[in-house]
Structure 1
Amino acid sequence: MKILIGIVSVLIILLMAYAVSYDRKHIKIKPLVWLLSLQLIFAYAMLNSNIGQVIINGIVAGFDKLLKFAGVGIHFVFGGIINDNSFSFFFNVLMPIVFISALIGILQYWKVLNWIIRAIGFLLSKVNGMGKLESYNAVGSAILGQSEVFISLKKQIPHLSQQRLYTICTAAMSTVSAAIIAAYMQLIEPRFVVCAVVLNLFGSFIIASLINPYEVNAADDVLDIEEEQQSFFEMLGEYILDGFKIAVIVAAMLMGFIALIDMVNAIFTSLFGISFQHFLGYLFAPLAFLVGIPWHDAVGAGTIMATKVITNEFVAMQELKSSLQSGANLFDERSLGIVSVFLVSFANFGSIGIICGTIKALDVRQGNVVARFGFRLLYGASLVSFLSATVVGLML
């Protein structure tokens, strides 16, 4: 029954993308079959095979080591403020981003990341039915981040068609940057973070291919990457400061969003006898059921899913973590995995502004184009998250 419901759910999600397609006649079936097959294979390998478990455990152990190194620097600066054996979201979750960002800068300076991004992007371009630029962008977004990857493509942004622009923006909103993966791993189970990153990479092409099918001319498929010429320490200082800015920005957004949610919840409760989040939970419950959550857990899961879309993934992850720490036991292991995978992406209203603002800074005209399809962009990226969550539900 689980498999049957999962297959039906995948078909419904694909139909939801098909329903808003720009050009249904030119949808390519073969790349879709390849990409969906790869999603299923990778999901099974990561969650159910011994080799997959060994690889994921190795990745998690590596991030644990990095967090310990980051902790040394954090304790040196904030040691007098941090209470021993206590958990602080800002110090434990956000501050390690500074160290991870510095490592990413070093690897990029040494061309290691560029080689990895190009290599994986080249392989993806062989199965996704799209161009080198789209493939590079998807992998680059998952490593560098949704803003940084656009900067590396700033020479090509002004010349992209609306179709290609939609695809690269969908991929950017569907992925997460490597700098904050360690932060996610402290809020939800690490293996689901790794799984989501991989599945979203394929899922973004599946959904974009349905909503936004097009042909890429070989003459236009030229990858021209902008690389800044900086000294090593100039680069290192820039990435360290960028990491700190990300941490502070996330902290500010969390303070604002959580306070606003609490206020709106209080108003809704006084007027209607139900919190705003719980109200959203009922609206999202059918979608939670669609991706494999049992109906008795659907409202709770829908509440967290809606929180992620309306605010951001950190707020939703913190809500999930708090519910688990309180002993509420809202979900069984399978439901917890499905919800966790859904949360790992930048698919929320705030990301529309970030992507539009970044592209507008590079080219005003193209930024306005992105703003016009902003809601369709969020719709597509959200479907990517629903698809990845459904695939995981099939494997758990």
Structure 2
Amino acid sequence: MSIVMGIVGILFTFFLAWIASSNRKLAFKKWKNILVLLALQLFFAFLFLNTTGGQTVIGWFADAFDRLLGFAREGGMFVFGDLMSLSTESGTPGEAVMLDGEATVLNVFFFNVLVPIIFISAIIGILSYTRILPWIIKIIGIILNKITGMPYIESYNGAASMLLGQSEVFISLKNVLPKMSTQRLYTLAAQAMSSISLSIVGAFFTMLDPQYVIIAIVLNLFGIYVIVHIINPYEEIIVDSDSEISTNPEEGKSFFQVLGDYIIDGGKVVLVVAAMLIGFIALIGLLNNLFLLIPGSNLTFQDILGYIFMPIAFLIGIPWAEAQTAGSLMATKLITNEFVAILDFITVADGLSEKTQAMVSVFLISFANFGSIGIIAGSVKGLHNESGDRVAKFGLKLVYGASLVSVLTATIVGFFF
């Protein structure tokens, strides 16, 4: 049954992409590339979920990040002292702990999830300065160029997005942005929105099963090319020069200048995520209560969103009995962000089947939400004004395409349960 629903889910996802395609006839001509990329997604999903070797690799990554998070906690202990100690002893974000003899509710999300982002950002800065990270990105980009049917810049950007995140990735492309057609610019922006930043991978590891985080990163890497081949197909004869891409954006800076910049950037991310959580969770709470004020209604705003997305959740393979809950989480991520949805998911995960937990988990691992439109458009606009304006114009289609990448990833994972 999982295989049948998986096939239905893939066809359904392809249909949703095709109806929004900018060139439906050309999309059909990309079928070879699409099948190769789809096969790679199935292969890696099987490798990580059903083989000892794949589970071992995931274990290595999980252990490595756990050690890094341990070092991050040491830094947090120095600044926050007993508050950090209590947060690491309590289990999940939001758990009640004892403080000065009084029962208080301490939201440990800030200490366990956000504070480590600063340390991971510092590690990324070191890897960037030593040229290790740019080298890794370039190698992955060359490999993707051979298998995706996309030009080198799009292939490079796919790898860079997977590691750098939706804002930082465009810095290395500042020289080529003015030369990008609108279609190519859509691909670059969609790649950024379908990824997550390496700096917050550790944060996701503390909230979700690490295997699903890693699987989502890998499947999204290939999935964005699948969706772009359908929703945004193009054929251009392009002579790409590697020199157009700035693979050493830290050139001319000292080691400690780079390190300081990345640490400050990590702090900014922490503040932005915390502010967005406060705002979005408060607004959702307000909307939920407003809907409950409607005479005869016992449905919250999120309940209604769940029913709207329920058919989509079912068609990609989530059991009907759990489709409303899954649909609500999918919708919450779309209109707010991945962190808000994950916090909601944590509270209901134990009541869901293993299959639904896996599919929802991988769906939540990306930046595909309405708020990302402004972040990406603003990042591009800061580097090239006209390109930023073009990104803003296709913003809704950008969220649509990036969300379909998450839908496809969840569908692929559902095959193996």
Q: How many Å separate the matches in 2 of 1:82 and 1:72?
A: 9
Q: SS at the partner of 1:81?
A: helix
* Aligned counterpart for 1:66 among listed residues 68, 73, 80: 68
1:242 aligns with 2:261: no
Q: How many Å separate the matches in 2 of 1:293 and 1:29?
A: 27
1:290 aligns with 2:315: yes
1:262 corresponds to? 285
Letter in structure 1 aligned against 2:234: Y
Letter in structure 2 aligned against 1:62: A
Q: Which runs of 5+ in 1 are unaligned?
A: none
Q: How many Å separate the matches in 2 of 1:104 and 1:290?
A: 39
1:251 corresponds to? 274
1:153 corresponds to? 173
Would the aligned equivalents of 1:130 and 1:216 in 2 still touch at CA under 8 Å?
A: no
Would the aligned equivalents of 1:264 and 1:276 in 2 still touch at CA under 8 Å?
A: yes
Higher deviation after alignment, 221-230 or 176-185: 221-230
Would the aligned equivalents of 1:192 and 1:340 in 2 still touch at CA under 8 Å?
A: yes
Offset of 1:221 from its aligned partner? 5.6
Q: How many Å separate the matches in 1 of 2:236 and 2:57?
A: 35
Deviation string, structure 1 residues 315-368 (Cα, Å, up to 9, x no partner): 0001111234xxxx3311111000000000000000011011111111111111
Would the aligned equivalents of 2:187 and 2:232 in 1 still touch at CA under 8 Å?
A: yes
Would the aligned equivalents of 1:142 and 1:178 in 2 still touch at CA under 8 Å?
A: yes
Q: How many Å separate the matches in 2 of 1:224 and 1:386?
A: 33
Would the aligned equivalents of 2:342 and 2:364 in 1 still touch at CA under 8 Å?
A: yes
Would the aligned equivalents of 2:77 and 2:85 in 1 still touch at CA under 8 Å?
A: no
Would the aligned equivalents of 2:224 and 2:402 in 1 still touch at CA under 8 Å?
A: yes
Q: How many Å separate the matches in 1 of 2:402 and 2:376?
A: 13
Superposition map of 1:1-396 within 5 A: 1-27=1-27, 28-84=30-86, 85-86=89-90, 88-220=108-240, 222=242, 224-226=244-246, 227-228=249-250, 229-271=252-294, 272-324=297-349, 329-396=350-417
Higher deviation after alignment, 67-76 or 269-278: 269-278
Letter in structure 1 aligned against 2:205: M
Sequence identity of aligned pairs in percent? 51
Deviation string, structure 1 residues 297-327 (Cα, Å, up to 9, x no partner): 0011111111000100000001111234xxx
Q: SS at the partner of 1:45?
A: helix
Would the aligned equivalents of 1:193 and 1:344 in 2 still touch at CA under 8 Å?
A: yes
Would the aligned equivalents of 2:2 and 2:416 in 1 still touch at CA under 8 Å?
A: no
Would the aligned equivalents of 1:63 and 1:182 in 2 still touch at CA under 8 Å?
A: yes
Q: SS at the partner of 1:186?
A: helix
Would the aligned equivalents of 1:131 and 1:221 in 2 still touch at CA under 8 Å?
A: no
Letter in structure 2 aligned against 1:356: A
Q: Runs ≥4 in structure 1, deviation > 6 angstroms?
A: none
Would the aligned equivalents of 1:117 and 1:136 in 2 still touch at CA under 8 Å?
A: yes
Q: TM-score, normalised by structure 1?
A: 0.97
Q: Which runs of 5+ in 2 are unaligned?
A: 94-107
Summarize the Cα distance change of 1:222–1:115 in structure 2 as closer, same or farther, 3 Å threshold. Answer: closer
Number of residue equivalences: 392
RMSD value over aligned CA atoms?
Answer: 1.1
Q: TM-score, normalised by structure 2?
A: 0.92
Summarize the Cα distance change of 1:221–1:380 in structure 2 as closer, same or farther, 3 Å threshold. Answer: farther
Letter in structure 2 aligned against 1:298: A
Offset of 1:225 from its aligned partner? 2.3
